Structure 1
Amino acid sequence: MQKIILLAIFLSLNLITAQPKKKQILLIGTFHFENPGLDVAKINTFDVMSEKSQKELENITNKIKEFGPDKIFVEWGYQKQDKLDKFYARNTDSLLHKKADERVQLALRAAKKLGHKKLFAIDYNQTRFPYDSLTKGMKEANQLDLLKSNDEEMKIFEQSQNEKMKKYNLTELLIDYNSNQSNKENVEWYLGTANRAGKNDNFVGAFLVSEWYKRNLYMYSLIQKLTESKDDKIMVLLGAGHTAMIREFIKYDPNFEIVELATILK
């Protein structure tokens, strides 16, 4: 009997030690530094090219270097990796002085400091985001309260983000964009508002939500595929709406754990 108990303890210990070490993901959600105004919510531009912001970017990327990701993934069409490779090979100083794009100012700057050969493109944009059809579906279904609520949500979100743009410095903005509250706000609109839109036989809301899930799920699939066994740490830089969703996927993936930006900036 004692031998059986000892064997059971030995086997349970083996199962515990056999669990693979989780790979760490520094998941950074951000606003678009070069804001083209294509998002539904209209957020003001923040000057990342100012002397103050440039000093902050140097500090942030130095901290990323200390963290030491083996790969950095960015919001760039996955099927255009060759163009990203050529872009990455261009004169770094020239890019840093001319391009406000977060993929340059954060990802490329950090990758060059780390001595990386490339950045990894993971954006999947072969999906639709029929926002006009969504609001039209609300009107046709006489969902006037939902339509009003949606408009108010958008205005409150825009006002809140624009106030932060005036109040915070770049470091504070990025920490805020990756806070629990910001992640919650980025996800709940899809299920709390958008998914309700349309008549009983019109799933325009659910279609928009499913397309958004699809885009992010496909991007996460690329992160999984491109992360090799030799990679202990990775960094993912995407719009905050994407990272908020990807966080939900990571919760149920036993191979990864999230490292918070605020933690490495301490």
Structure 2
Amino acid sequence: MKKSGLYLYLLGLMHVLSSNCLFAQSLKQPDEFFNTRDSLPKIFLVGTFHFEYYNLDAYKTDKEKQIDILSPQKQNELQELLDYLSLYKPDKIAVESKPAWNAQAKYRDYKSGKAPLSRDEISQIAFRLMDRFHLDTIYSIDAGSIYDDMEILKDSAVFHPYLDSLFKDYDFQSNDAVSKRYINFYNYQTTLATEIPLLKYFKYINSDEILKRNYGAYLTGDFKLGNNRGADALAMYWYDRNLRIFRNIQKITTSPHDRILVLFGSGHMSILNQLFDCSPEYEYIKFNDLKKE
């Protein structure tokens, strides 16, 4: 009886284990449906601070904390950063500018000797990468938002009262406890830029941890205005702008062999990071994952 009982127990255990194995094998992972990496265009996001310090964003950089990108030290550090970015071997470079900025004409003037390289990050990073990889086209992919469109529509007078009420007090200047922590967080990053080499700084601000916390900033402060007013304002202005930027990147993707490098202000990267992380149409290479072949 004891042997018979042990036999039945082992038989039952084997049945349970085999059933579990079959059940586990029957669950397909999502990428089994989408994993065609050999034929996907590649995307590489480079979040940057604005070398010209336009101070048009919600967070401003004090004069004493601004670095001089044209100084000999920073130019040497810039070469190290460019060497790292070159590991990606881009064949298309897209930047934070609109057609009216005439990025292509500015690049031609620089190449022909009509104008020196400017201080801005497009000139210092994008133009120099174009030189390295013998690229002749730069893609301006910045976008406005649906809020901007509604502001200038022929019937904008109809929308203005609604927009004015929706965006009342929406100024990224909240005074709550979490917003104050974000100010300390941004102050630390600004100071850090003056203390460490450019490459190390770029690796830091493009890390998953920083992108994650930057994304969280949009869900605090003015996001809580009114009942849904803050959420609607974020969607119509900032989130929509980044969705349109993503759409513009889709428009310049013409081959499964494209290797697109996107250079934008770091404030955009938390949303773009999420979009490309989820998209099945691109192979998204994270900033800190570049390795020498």
* Structure 2 unaligned regions, length at least 5: 1-31, 149-162
- Map of 1:23 onto structure 2: 41
1:65-115 per-residue CA deviation (whole Å, 9 max, x = no partner) reads: 3421110000001x437x221111012496996522110111111011111
| Superposed displacement of residue 222, structure 1 | 0.7
Larger C-alpha radius of gyration, 1 or 2? 2
Over the residues paired in the alignment, what is the CA RMSD in angstroms? 3.2
Match of residue 180, structure 2, among 152, 155, 160: 152
CA contact (8 A) 1:61 1:110 kept: yes
In the alignment, the residues of structure 1 paired with residue 285 and residue 241 of structure 2 have an alpha-carbon distance, to the nearest angstrom, of 23
1:33-91 per-residue CA deviation (whole Å, 9 max, x = no partner) reads: 111111111223222112122122223323433421110000001x437x221111012
Match of residue 86, structure 1, among 89, 105, 128: 105
Query: The residue matched to 1:55 in structure 2 has which SS?
Result: helix
Residues 186-265 of structure 1: pairs in structure 2 closer than 5 A: 186-198=214-226, 200=227, 203-229=229-255, 231-264=257-290
| Superposed displacement of residue 182, structure 1 | 1.4
- Map of 1:46 onto structure 2: 67
Query: The residue matched to 1:27 in structure 2 has which SS?
Result: strand
- Map of 1:36 onto structure 2: 54
- Map of 2:204 onto structure 1: 176
In the alignment, the residues of structure 2 paired with residue 213 and residue 37 of structure 1 have an alpha-carbon distance, to the nearest angstrom, of 20
- Check if 1:125 corresponds to 2:158: no
CA contact (8 A) 2:143 2:245 kept: yes
In the alignment, the residues of structure 2 paired with residue 50 and residue 114 of structure 1 have an alpha-carbon distance, to the nearest angstrom, of 25
Q: Point out the more displaced range, 20-29 or 235-244.
A: 20-29
CA contact (8 A) 2:44 2:285 kept: yes
- TM-score (normalised: structure 1): 0.78
Cα distance change of structure 1 residues 220 and 95 upon mapping to structure 2, 3 Å threshold: farther
* Structure 1 unaligned regions, length at least 5: 1-14, 139-145
Q: Point out the more displaced range, 255-264 or 213-222.
A: 255-264
CA contact (8 A) 2:182 2:217 kept: no
| Superposed displacement of residue 192, structure 1 | 3.4
Cα distance change of structure 1 residues 240 and 93 upon mapping to structure 2, 3 Å threshold: farther
Match of residue 106, structure 1, among 125, 134, 138: 125
In the alignment, the residues of structure 2 paired with residue 85 and residue 74 of structure 1 have an alpha-carbon distance, to the nearest angstrom, of 11
Query: The residue matched to 1:167 in structure 2 has which SS?
Result: coil
In the alignment, the residues of structure 2 paired with residue 54 and residue 93 of structure 1 have an alpha-carbon distance, to the nearest angstrom, of 22
| Aligned amino acid, residue 192 of structure 2 | K
Query: The residue matched to 1:37 in structure 2 has which SS?
Result: coil
Query: The residue matched to 2:246 in structure 1 has which SS?
Result: helix
| Superposed displacement of residue 136, structure 1 | 3.0
1:221-246 per-residue CA deviation (whole Å, 9 max, x = no partner) reads: 01011111154311000011112111
CA contact (8 A) 1:62 1:110 kept: no
| Superposed displacement of residue 191, structure 1 | 1.8
Matched length: 241
| Aligned amino acid, residue 164 of structure 1 | L
In the alignment, the residues of structure 1 paired with residue 175 and residue 127 of structure 2 have an alpha-carbon distance, to the nearest angstrom, of 41
Cα distance change of structure 1 residues 96 and 53 upon mapping to structure 2, 3 Å threshold: farther
CA contact (8 A) 1:23 1:257 kept: yes
| Aligned amino acid, residue 80 of structure 2 | N
| Superposed displacement of residue 187, structure 1 | 0.8
Match of residue 190, structure 2, among 149, 158, 162: 162
